[in-house]
Structure 1
Amino acid sequence: MSEQQHEESIKKISGMYEDWFLDYASYVILERAIPSIFDGLKPVQRRIMHSMRELEDGRYNKVANIVGNTMKYHPHGDMAITDAMVQIGQKELLIDTQGNWGNILTGDGAAAARYIEARLTPFALEVVFNPKTTEWLPSYDGRNKEPDNLPVKFPLLLTQGVEGIAVGLSTKILPHNFNEVIDASINYLRGKKFVLYPDFLTGGYIDVSDYNDGQRGGKVRVRAKIQQEDKLTLKITEIPFGTTTGSLIDSILKANDKGKIKIKKIEDNTSEFVEILVHLSPGISPDKMIDALYAFTDCEISISPNACVINVNRPEFLNVSEILRRNTENTVELLKRELEIELNELQEQWHFSSLERIFIENRIYHDIEEEETWEGVIQAIDKGLKPFTGHLLREVTEEDIVRLTEIRIKRISKFDLDKAQQFLESLEEKIEKVKFHLANLIDYAVDYFKNLKTKYGKGRERKTEIRVFDNIDATKVAVANVRFYVDKSEGFIGTSLRKDEFLFECSDIDDIIVFRNDGVMMVSKVDAKTFVGKGIIHIAVWQKNDKRTIYNLIYRDGKNGPSYMKRFAVTGITRDKEYDLTNGTKGSELLYFSANPNGEAEVVQILLKPNQRLKKLKLDINFSELAVKGRASKGNLVTKYPVKKVELKEEGVSTLAPRKIWFDDTVKRLNADGRGELLGAFKGTDKILTINDKGDAKLTSFDLSNRYDDELLTIEKWRPEKPISCIYYDAEKERYFVKRFLLEDTLNPQTFYFSEHPNSFVEMVTTQKIPVVDLIFSKVKGVEREMETVNLEEFITVKGIKAQGNQLTTYKIKQINLHPAPEEPEEEELPKIEPDELDGATGEQASLFDFPRKQAENGEENQEEKE
């Protein structure tokens, strides 16, 4: 070989790697990780199902035997096949399992393949297989045939869901509800709109606001179902999809170790159903802890779907609706092919039965008695049939004639013409029925789906409840897990300054606001040690968008300038940026400062330095007479004369309007954003009244972190002077009773209804001032008593909460209707300042004092968003 020929035979290694990698990537995508759009199965799943159908005899098979048989088709290890089979079995749709198949709730694995058994479910046998409509391919070693796609007549991909990681792409299709998928298919076939949302065997709650039909870029939020057992115990009864009780408990313990939450202990009582008890430390709010669990643990997780499928050897990204449409169309096509095959078989059966009848009835078999050759026999039969074959569906073939020669003498001798005619007529009826189904294929498909729902839909109701989640502010529910200190002499703050002055406990994710005596303010994240400058006069935890905390201050403009006063809120900042609250003149200084969490406005006394032009050296200033403006405003002039001292003269009261509170029934939470039903305007001591169907009344604060259950009969602002009216049925006495009572001002639950009889119940609870009801009576011996109207205020006086009450009537009641409440006048609200639109406010009020002053300049707030 010449040197030139030798050089040409050399191939670069980089080129080999490129080819090999592309081959490997294609193999992983097409043959391992991504499901087919047609049957919704990965290759290993398809081979397992085909292998189970091969072994199917109605009895359970050892999984080890099924796995061994599957290895004829799947060129991988037995463990990979076993794991894939267990995953299918745990979805409780295609495989009927026996033995320990693991637990999706606890994450426990299945027993070894030699100990567990399986067989196909009736659903799988009906829906997944049909050799007549299956296209076959040779197996990897050429010894067997395997299906290219199983003829699945159902949107299996959406019902089971799938997850897989290939080379360069992945797929994640969430499972959907069996019955809802069938309903969606029926709606699509009927030309109606449909929508599908995920449903998980683990239950829980799901927020599908951003689901985006399962496409890339969408997401769902999934939450555990948490109930409050008592003041010190929470119970988790359902967990998010993708977690286990073990992983959930680990995340809770991890959050506790980091100090994000504070729990006493956690107890796992899970067996058939999930039961995790979270025991709280004394003094911890259960409502706040539920929010904290959602914020800092796996009690809430976010899942990003990514619907990638294989469509004719190519990966394709679709949405859930498109997958359902294609699966439904594929089902219709498979049903059509089955009908066409059935029609052809029936017609062939009719053809040969007719031919057999002609052959026997006309004794054509006698025509072959003289023939000595096979060709002569065939020709004789063919000649004898010709006069009678005009009505057949097709021409008579040699194969038909051969089959006639194979009819036994016994069958010919016992041939019954009437039975043969009846059989032909029954075939004709079946043929007409199949033709009718083909002509009305969509109706046939709809009936097919309805039949599936009837046969297999029971017990497959939705398990995951769809809700809209409220957004939890982590800083508001984080437990105070660090101690915060200040070194005023050096101007440092932080959690590591243990030798210096202790301020308060806070969370390590909080923001801290600092004010200095030179009029500078800044906000910084909690850290071990942060320099904020000397002259610190106020440090506190800062909440973004806090419009209720109002800061009052008086500052001197420059070393010898006039003094100004201002009120402002701090709702948005840039962290670690210094904000000058004065007019910016060098030498400016704060003469007075106060932080007021509920907008309090105090009265202060200003002592002026002696001056021969001044007769009055003491001035009283009431901050309530000053408007709340932006923090960058210059403020109002107090005096142009030097100030000796400013003293607090009178504690302040809130100048903010009562806070309007709404109840959002969707998320069962309070809010101040106008979502849901307006409960009223609340001041600091006002309370929320809730009444449930168990006969419990409870007063709570109007804290926005409060959580309310689904069994509420009433939720409203509590007015102590308004009695509560209740009508209840006492099953033991078989009578309705009515009672009216007032609640005590306590946060403990107050029970107003006691009955151990299982058939007793609360019929109606109302807080109307003058409740009026209509009593509709049942017929007695065919006689109907006239309706009676009862004014409950006149019927019974207000008594104690534990009183039995008065019997409403002796007659048998059919229905009780409460009259609508008359409109009550709204509460009068004082025209106080509500700092909802403070930032950006400019301008100033007239001076409060009758002595010369310089006109204040307008300032303008420059609000910046927190980073």
Structure 2
Amino acid sequence: MAELTPDKHEGESLKKISGMYEEWFLDYASYVILERAIPSVHDGFKPVQRRIMHSMREMEDGRYNKVANIVGNTMKYHPHGDMAITDAMVQLGQKGLLIDTQGNWGNVFTGDGAAAARYIEARLTKFALEVIFNPKTTNWQLSYDGRNREPVDLPVKFPLLLAQGVEGIAVGLSTKILPHNFNELIDASIHHLRGKKFILYPDFQTGGMIDVSDYNDGERGGRIRIRAKITQLDKNTLQITEIPYGTNTGTLIESVIKANEKGKIKIKHIEDNTARDVDILVHLAPGTSPDKTIDALYAFTNCEVSVSPNACVIVNNKPEFLSVSEILKINTDNTVNLLKRELEIELGELEDQWHYSSLERIFIENRIYRNIEEETTWEGVISAIDEGLKPFIGHLKREVTQEDIVRLTEIKIKRISKFDLDKAQQYIDSLEGKIAQVQHHLNHLVEYAIAYYQKLKEKYGKEKERLTEIRLFEDIDAAKVAAANVKFYANFEEGFIGTSLKKDEYLFECSDIDDIIAFRRDGTMIVTKVDDKTFIGKNIIHVAVWKKKDKRTTYNLIYRYGKTGPVYQKRFNVTSVIRDKEYSVCKDKEHSEILYFSANPNGEAEVVQVLLKVNSRLKKLRIDINFAELDVKGRSAKGNLVTKYPVKKVELKEEGVSTLAPRKIWFDDAVRRLNAEGRGELLGAFKGSDKILTISTKGVAQLHTFELSNRFDEEYSVLEKWEPSKPITCVYYHSERERYYVKRFTLEDTLNPQEFYDLADENSFIEMISVDYIPVIEIIFKKIKGHQRDSETVNLEEFISVKGISALGNQLTSYAVKEIKVLPPIPYEEPKEEEMPKKETRLFFGSETSQGLLFVDEEE
């Protein structure tokens, strides 16, 4: 490019245009990246967010301020206009963590915008005031016009960036960090401080479900799938109660309408009842399958979206791409450094207070102030005090300065006359205690930081449970599932029941207009309506659907009357009650306790055995009770006496007679549901308390009832009828020990998940899970230094006996393993009844001194 023709004006110089655009563009790109779009890794804020928070702290007086006033004050620091500040502030306010809002701040579910800034108000939350600000540890810089000071980074003592998430588009790059759960972030920080590994997954305000199989710790190239939560209200209606992150009810409904117009799904109409919570009703066209419609909604609408995280942050004034774990470690280490600086500042202030208080005590106690009575000059006064102090300052921690002496001269006569030596010494002693405490915290900084995080969780984490359910999504083309009814759950430990407790124990399916009956260990009974979440008290022992005037369901009960009273037995029905009123089935006696309970839908009467505590006066320590011998009486009846002596436990000896015949159940893998119509694989004939066993590849075994309404959303390595005596075999690799281990165990009869593999190390893995009686494997060893060891065939049933589910197991081999092959199991035949050994077929109690059982051969 040609040079410009030079002018003859003085002071002007010639420049080439070539290269100027490149310099200006790089300057502009750097400015946008550093000053507008990308957050700092230390405090988690973009510049506009940081300036909003600083401005709000500047105006903080405990009362709400008009957002318009806050925006106006923030413009002293942010030079990009009020609209940018207002939008950023609304986004912060909608996240509900740092800003306490008042007025219409919009709705993250519907996408509705906030009211104008002059109509809404805000103030800082208590959490923000405690965690974000500390002028003593803040690094300051001049604002853009040089008139004010603003923070370079706010001293945030929490992984705020990961808690709130952030999105930004700069020149040449962008950032997208997803929000994570408050309590899980604190737990992860504590794990990091303790040197343990941790895993973090996103959690969204909008709830929903996420598949994090490809999350990749939030790095570039990762991906998560997010689904709306869809339930079936009835055969013609679906309800969407939670929506995917990044969508709103408007965009979701629009995508459903478009899919319907394109013929991808068939619906009658869609109804939006969203208010505080999401409530979208999808009314199906006649003859439309709810199962297929749910799958179609995930496949062709915004009911399922895919999000790719991209964690770009500013580190040391440069953009860097990090993982979520790296960001949390940086935030946690920064918190430790900030806590250390705060302690050092506090220590310095306490030592200054101790120094001056000690000087003041010496000055007054030794009447050094009298030494200045004859002095006529200021220099003489200073010198006299200095000389008077010297005999008494040997214990001080630093030298006495002229500033210290000047402060002594400013003590008023009234203070000297009322000076109390004992109180002064007590104050000095208290300062020494505080100094020792601060010094202790500095010497144990990691423990202090852990306690700080634990305090934050206890104080602010109570209502911040996970909203987004983590699960593995099925392939829509292969698995067509649907919810037939409302599922009911219970949290037996905390005392909650309801339809929304999907993380707790699943009980049954019921109608949303049903009544639920529940019994507690203390003998209290209550009937309540089905609801999302209801607190009915801790120590729940039974929850079921209750029908009014139900005389078929019979409850068999053994209970202790009072804290140390006798033990009674009873049978009763519950035919009529007042809803939500508590009733006692133990005669209203305090400290009573139910020792045995069963609910029998067809009046079954089992036989149980009551085991008494050892007592020298008792010859018989076991009592058999046949409930069939008891009459069914009213709920308030006291019952029949069992024993006056303390009971150790009650065991089921014989199942009650059932009028229900065994039912054949099949599993249809196409829709992953049970049926009784012969579709799919026959699981077996079920009756009574029979259950279905599932085992996941992550090492979790779980028992399920055989109700046809059950859904098996996940893929399982095992799904079969459960045989309690049949052991499970697991071969797994322990990375810390660099060895393969084998364990064999049986399960407890509970519907709760039972974990048998919980190594947190990501390098450990499960090699094989088998439910065969006699599994067999072949071990192929690695070739080491040219030597190839012969492979070995191992009968795992002979290799290890059945142990507890939490046992480590036995080491498979000490040699380096290349591969483990699963061979066909050895056939196993259960012994026929006539081939069973005849020993131990009858039970007799021993003599009074034997304290045990005697097993007698039937032939003898």
TM-score range relative to shorter protein: 0.5 to 0.7
Q: Which residue of 2 aligns with 1:453?
A: 457
User: 1:230 Cα shift?
Assistant: 0.9
Q: Which residue of 1 aligns with 2:765?
A: none
Matches within 5 A, 1:591-610: none
> Is the Cα contact below 8 Å between 2:35 and 2:47 reproduced in 1?
yes
Q: Which residue of 2 aligns with 1:70?
A: 74
Q: Which residue of 1 aligns with 2:53?
A: 49
Matches within 5 A, 1:386-535: 386-473=390-477
Q: Which residue of 1 aligns with 2:156?
A: 152
Aligned length: 554
Q: Which residue of 1 aligns with 2:375?
A: 371
Q: 1:195 to 1:823 in 2, by over 3 A?
A: closer
Corresponding letter in the other structure for 2:554 = F
Q: Does 1:281 align with 2:145?
A: no
1:274-332 deviations in whole A, cap 9, x for unaligned?
00000110111101000100000000000000001001110011000000001000000
Distance 2:101 2:294 in 1: 37
Matches within 5 A, 1:779-858: 782=645, 784=647, 787=651, 789-792=653-656, 794=657, 796=659
Q: 1:731 to 1:448 in 2, by over 3 A?
A: farther
Matches within 5 A, 1:187-202: 187-202=191-206
Distance 2:400 2:180 in 1: 53
> Is the Cα contact below 8 Å between 1:226 and 1:238 reproduced in 2?
yes
Q: Does 1:737 align with 2:554?
A: yes
Q: Which residue of 1 aligns with 2:752?
A: none
2-11 or 73-82: which moved more?
Answer: 2-11
Q: Which residue of 1 aligns with 2:810?
A: none
Matches within 5 A, 1:305-384: 305-384=309-388
> Is the Cα contact below 8 Å between 1:207 and 1:468 reproduced in 2?
yes
Q: Which one has the largest radius of gyration? A: 1
Corresponding letter in the other structure for 1:49 = M
Distance 1:26 1:333 in 2: 29
Greater relative CO (CA pairs within 8 A, separation 6+): 1
Match of 2:119, SS state, is coil
User: 1:139 Cα shift?
Assistant: 0.5
Match of 2:554, SS state, is strand
> Is the Cα contact below 8 Å between 2:176 and 2:310 reproduced in 1?
yes
1:559-615 deviations in whole A, cap 9, x for unaligned?
xxxxxxxxxxxxxxxxxxxxxxxxxxxxxxxxxxxxxxxxxxxxxxxxxxxxxxxxx
Distance 1:695 1:459 in 2: 29
Distance 2:507 2:446 in 1: 51
Distance 1:404 1:329 in 2: 42
Matches within 5 A, 1:643-658: none
Q: 1:130 to 1:731 in 2, by over 3 A?
A: farther
Matches within 5 A, 1:618-633: none
Among residues 668, 689, 694, which one is paired with 2:510 in the alignment?
694
Distance 2:545 2:58 in 1: 63
User: 1:691 Cα shift?
Assistant: 9.8
Q: 1:131 to 1:774 in 2, by over 3 A?
A: same
Corresponding letter in the other structure for 1:242 = G
Q: Which residue of 1 aligns with 2:753?
A: none
Q: 1:366 to 1:783 in 2, by over 3 A?
A: closer
Distance 2:179 2:607 in 1: 49
> Is the Cα contact below 8 Å between 1:267 and 1:277 reproduced in 2?
yes
Q: 1:797 to 1:303 in 2, by over 3 A?
A: closer
> Is the Cα contact below 8 Å between 2:67 and 2:118 reproduced in 1?
yes
1:323-346 deviations in whole A, cap 9, x for unaligned?
000100000000000000000000
Q: 1:399 to 1:728 in 2, by over 3 A?
A: closer
User: 1:694 Cα shift?
Assistant: 3.4
> Is the Cα contact below 8 Å between 2:554 and 2:600 reproduced in 1?
no
User: 1:766 Cα shift?
Assistant: 12
1:593-650 deviations in whole A, cap 9, x for unaligned?
xxxxxxxxxxxxxxxxxxxxxxxxxxxxxxxxxxxxxxxxxxxxxxxxxxxxxxxxxx
Distance 2:452 2:45 in 1: 22
Match of 2:19, SS state, is helix
Identity over aligned pairs, percent: 68
Matches within 5 A, 1:55-134: 55-134=59-138
User: 1:822 Cα shift?
Assistant: 8.2
User: 1:789 Cα shift?
Assistant: 3.2
| 5+ residue gaps, structure 2 | 488-505, 513-531, 533-542, 557-573, 584-596, 611-624, 626-640, 664-688, 690-704, 707-720, 727-860
> Is the Cα contact below 8 Å between 2:40 and 2:46 reproduced in 1?
yes
Distance 2:39 2:111 in 1: 24
Q: 1:235 to 1:795 in 2, by over 3 A?
A: closer
Distance 1:408 1:278 in 2: 81
Q: Which residue of 1 aligns with 2:257?
A: 253
Q: 1:417 to 1:407 in 2, by over 3 A?
A: same
Corresponding letter in the other structure for 1:692 = F
User: 1:13 Cα shift?
Assistant: 3.1
Distance 1:260 1:663 in 2: 18
> Is the Cα contact below 8 Å between 1:727 and 1:737 reproduced in 2?
no
> Is the Cα contact below 8 Å between 1:153 and 1:331 reproduced in 2?
yes
Q: 1:260 to 1:155 in 2, by over 3 A?
A: same
Q: 1:775 to 1:316 in 2, by over 3 A?
A: farther
Q: 1:269 to 1:17 in 2, by over 3 A?
A: same
User: 1:775 Cα shift?
Assistant: 7.5
> Is the Cα contact below 8 Å between 1:48 and 1:70 reproduced in 2?
yes
Distance 1:736 1:323 in 2: 57
Match of 1:229, SS state, is strand
Corresponding letter in the other structure for 2:510 = K
> Is the Cα contact below 8 Å between 1:730 and 1:737 reproduced in 2?
no
Q: Does 1:181 align with 2:185?
A: yes
Distance 2:456 2:68 in 1: 31
Corresponding letter in the other structure for 1:175 = P
Distance 2:96 2:83 in 1: 21
Distance 2:576 2:228 in 1: 33
User: 1:763 Cα shift?
Assistant: 6.7
Among residues 215, 220, 238, which one is paired with 1:216 in the alignment?
220
Corresponding letter in the other structure for 1:11 = K
Q: 1:779 to 1:28 in 2, by over 3 A?
A: farther
> Is the Cα contact below 8 Å between 1:93 and 1:123 reproduced in 2?
yes
Corresponding letter in the other structure for 1:47 = R
1:508-562 deviations in whole A, cap 9, x for unaligned?
xxxxxxxxxxxxxxxxxxxxxxxxxxxxxxxxxxxxxxxxxxxxxxxxxxxxxxx
Distance 2:199 2:298 in 1: 27
> Is the Cα contact below 8 Å between 1:728 and 1:737 reproduced in 2?
no
> Is the Cα contact below 8 Å between 2:237 and 2:281 reproduced in 1?
yes
Match of 1:13, SS state, is coil
Corresponding letter in the other structure for 2:311 = A
User: 1:692 Cα shift?
Assistant: 3.4
User: 1:241 Cα shift?
Assistant: 0.5
Corresponding letter in the other structure for 1:694 = C
Match of 2:153, SS state, is coil
1:666-703 deviations in whole A, cap 9, x for unaligned?
xx9xxxxxxxxxxxxxxxxxxxxx9934399xxxxxxx
Among residues 297, 302, 309, which one is paired with 2:306 in the alignment?
302
> Is the Cα contact below 8 Å between 2:66 and 2:118 reproduced in 1?
yes
Matches within 5 A, 1:722-761: 737=554
User: 1:663 Cα shift?
Assistant: 13
> Is the Cα contact below 8 Å between 2:549 and 2:575 reproduced in 1?
no
| 5+ residue gaps, structure 1 | 478-661, 669-689, 697-710, 712-725, 740-752, 801-807, 809-816, 825-867
User: 1:19 Cα shift?
Assistant: 1.5
Q: 1:181 to 1:799 in 2, by over 3 A?
A: closer
Q: 1:20 to 1:58 in 2, by over 3 A?
A: same
Q: 1:264 to 1:754 in 2, by over 3 A?
A: farther
Match of 1:146, SS state, is strand
